[in-house]
Structure 1
Amino acid sequence: MWLTVLLLVIVVQTGSQRQARSENLIETRAEIETLFTTEDCVWFPCYETQSCEHAVGIPENIRKREGNSSHCSGLQAVTIEWNPSPYGIEFVQGFRVDLVSLSGPSSVSECRQLVLRDGVRLEPQLIIGSTFCLGSDTLYGAVVYGFPVPPGREHHAQQIQFRTNSSYSNGRRANPSTWTPSRLSFTQDGHDVTVSFTAAADTDNINSYHVYHGRCPPGEPAPLSWQHTHMPHDGAGTVQVRLGSLEPGFNYSVVLLSDQEGAERREVTYFVKSEQTGEGQQLTLTLLLVLFALISTVVTVTASHLINNRKQNGKRGEAGFGDDSVSEPFTTQRVSNPRVFLLYPDTASPTLLNVVLHFATFLQAHCACQVVLDMWEELARGLEGRADWIVRQLAEAHFIVVMCWPGGGCPPGPGWGGFFSLGVSLVAEQLLQARISSSGLSRFIVTCFGQCREADVPGVLDLATKYKLMEALPRFFSHLHSLELLGPGLALHVDGISEETYPATPSGFALYEALRLAGEDGSMESATL
């Protein structure tokens, strides 16, 4: 009897504790309206103000919960819930929820922004949620950000995916099966891929199958969009789905599941191979032979002209920087289209910024370079974060070119800007590492325009190779392409790659005009072209 009374007391206490926890949870959700205001979504690329220097943790425990659909007019209410990260929680200004339909009959792209009210402090155990009215039988993806978005954290946010219930399947099956696609195989035919898997048994009460596929962008684990294929269950032992017009050289994510509510899904990744026919290989070989013959003819015809000009080109070089400004011999590994990362003082005058733009265009349009310029990648720099973007460019670039000009355009003059300062500091650090390892110094180049002196170049870049442009344009070009200007019995000649001939090209003439205007307004102290 005493044992029975003791068990009753324990059950009553446990029930009271569960009820108390439930009440606290409901109260916490009810407090959301008093903690936040809902506004239109505005992206917060944060890399300028002091408050942005604080890292804000990615929201945790992101999940989907069925909501109250009474106010959704025939749609299903789904609440996206999360907990604020304790990391940097005191600097959180709010949250942004992006929700988009990935496949299915409904097309949705919504964004909710919850802005923290003044004077409110968050706690890690707080459950925050935002409710959406969604269509049925549709696959959705949701991402939650905390803002201001700290540099380098934007691409770390994880997407959760979920499927809303089918409008006809609620309560249809009392005993849903646990069937999962098995014996999965892929067969590629050109740009088409056939996916095969073992069909479900008739006793599983499955009427159809859903196959989703999408191309994964480089460096991304999941596709940005999905394509949907619906296959009925016909009782055959194997199901085959043909995915057409896939792009070779990319990973494709493939998701398979049945039409049952809460069905088990299977996701795999397949790499689409490039298949070249015999006729295509023969055509490629013919083109290579023709190209080789053309290059040989050009070299033979122009050899005498190149030899006559080699002394003039040989004397032009790193004027004003001494004879030892080439810090390392050119690398023997030649790159057909080298990737060049341009750094310049970000507080330069409009005329000098015009020089930067036309110089980048000239390198890309006429000098066969892949140029990376921050003015061309404002969105990527904002999304990725200033520091992470620069670090990635320094790692991926074949050459890093720092642009300088007279009159304080480089430190310690007034042109020392925040973005440029960070870039030069990182370059200086890598220069020191390259010096210690005795390799890689040739990646770093300093170019100086106009009446430039050594005092106009940052002292931390002394180890870099220096060129005065446009006088040393032939040497600069040969450096970027790892080519020697002179060799036994021949000399390098490329049209439009000299101080006298570069204005004859369209992009070179635009650069010529930009340099002339900069010289006229005194930005380059009467630069000599």
Structure 2
Amino acid sequence: MWKAALVLYQLLAMGQQLWAQDDVTAGPIIPQDCSLDCIRKGGPGCEYCRITRADVNRHLGLNSMGVFGSCIPWPCFELLGEEDPKICQHYVQAPNDVNIEFVHEPNPKSDTIVVSWKPSYYGITFLRGFQVSLQALGGSDVACQLFLFHRNLSLSASHAQRVYKSDPFPGLSLGSQYAVTVMALPVPEEWERFYHSKIFSTRSCAEKNGLEECKKDWYPKHIEVQQEGTAITVTFNLAPPNLGIRSYFSMCYANGENKYTDITPNSNKNKTHHSYQLNDLQEGTNYTCEIAANEVDAVRKTFNVKVMHIQKEGGSSRSVTPSLTLMVPLCLAMVVIFAVLLAALTRRRPKLQMEKPDVKSDIIEQHQDSRIQEELMAFPRNRLTPPRLLICYSSYDGPSHVKAVMQLGAFIQEHMATRVCLDLWDSLRVAEEGSMAWHCRQIRESDFILVICSSGFNHRPKSPEPESDNKDEEADRGLDIRYNAFSSDVAVQLVGEEVGRAKARGQDLSKYMAAIFEYSEESDIPTELRLVSHYMLTSDLPLLFSHLHGIALHRPGGYLKVNHISEEAFTKLPAGADLQWAIYEAGIAKRAKRHHSVEGEDYTLKKESICLRGGPQPNKSERMA
């Protein structure tokens, strides 16, 4: 019996959790009517309350709140901070996803909106309410609404998905611009991220009521142009009678001249369409014309009129005779020239066929080789944005290896038309976001990821040694990046996981690349990164450039040539020389480190062999004694 009761209790608990989750992701939260006493005491039904102007006047004794509506400079401190000022002293981040929604407004000359938003999960535990203000751009009118939670409410991070709404803001002018600001409460001093502003425009009269209901926005939609001889007739649709438009005008432009036409339709003949004549237009000219209602700031409809050439009677018979007299001699001359060329070609063709076997094949091949060398493809410079490259590396190979990575990034960014992202160049942002968050964001936003592989991938982080009194050791430790950064090594592991997932899903792996310097070996490349393209630097700089920009190095009859990237030319640049010297120093440091480790291993082996023999053997004098 008790087992059944226990199972029933667990089911009820799970149901309550599901109901709570459904409540978090429910529909938008609408303001409630509740008093300030209910908000202070934290009673039920006071979760999200609107504070009216009467509540503010009653509590603070202010009667001049007409300009600012229900808003006051310090709402949390004045309305909730009397009993416990600590609840109004925490930082709260600005709301997100501020949206404007147009709602039904019976007045055709104004608009009504409702503002919605989501709270930020930063500081949501200390969130006490919102303040929404609306101001017309270029004006002084301000409308403001205040919403507060009760003092005992504490929201969790899951409530950041809730959508909160304001009360309607009515009476907004059509076709006007406004700025809405949603502020999270409380607002301590020296804090700039507590509000979110957005500029929007109300609907025009035509968008809200339709074009046939707006006198200022109406314009003719249907225009037809016909030409009969020298007469050009334009037909357009008339405005609805309820707008009260009685006259129109037309204006045509061409060659710096304006042709104005006043139009007054007779509504007794036709109430839907009207036709008028365009006179005194030049033949063979294209005119740009406008037609609109004869009202202030009326919208104009543009159309084009092309005046055709008109042939006059009697002119065609006189013009035919001179044209025929000119065409007959020209045709005869063309026939004679064609016959002479044909005869010359027929006589020379056997000579060409006889001389063809005399051309040697090696001369042809030499000519083709020289043509391939001379025909070079230019690098296209019409790319809008350079590709974004994230460089990851291991910090366990010492400062010299890190310096080589930095010089490589500088050379790529300066001479390979690529934007390089390196954690050493963005230390402030890394400190602000955290190394893991920074690398995850860069992996997501970068176009390419280059992993500089080295023997340091086989090491694991060690705890730092105790502090030493030796200043030289402290100086060396300050240069050693291992004591203060493991972020890039973790990023390399993240890249390896991304490559494995992309390979399992059959996705493109061109985003990921691996490279080694000349002092490293191919065995330093991890197994998961052997699936992607890998390069030897600096000899493979042209291949890396081709990968970054998606340009083929060779094609039939040509090859890619980019200045200062070839193995012979890049050292002539300051950045290339610095890169080559940094790689040389890193190679020397690695060989010295390897030699030191080998000597250490020999010393360890010698010491172990002495221990196996039972300690050091006595010399001859000791044995005689």
Q: TM-score, normalised by structure 2?
A: 0.36
Q: Tell me which protein shows more helix as a share of its residues.
A: 2
User: Radius of gyration: which is bigger?
Assistant: 2
Answer 1 or 2: higher relative contact order, Cα 8 Å, separation at least 6: 1
Normalising by structure 1, we get a TM-score of: 0.41
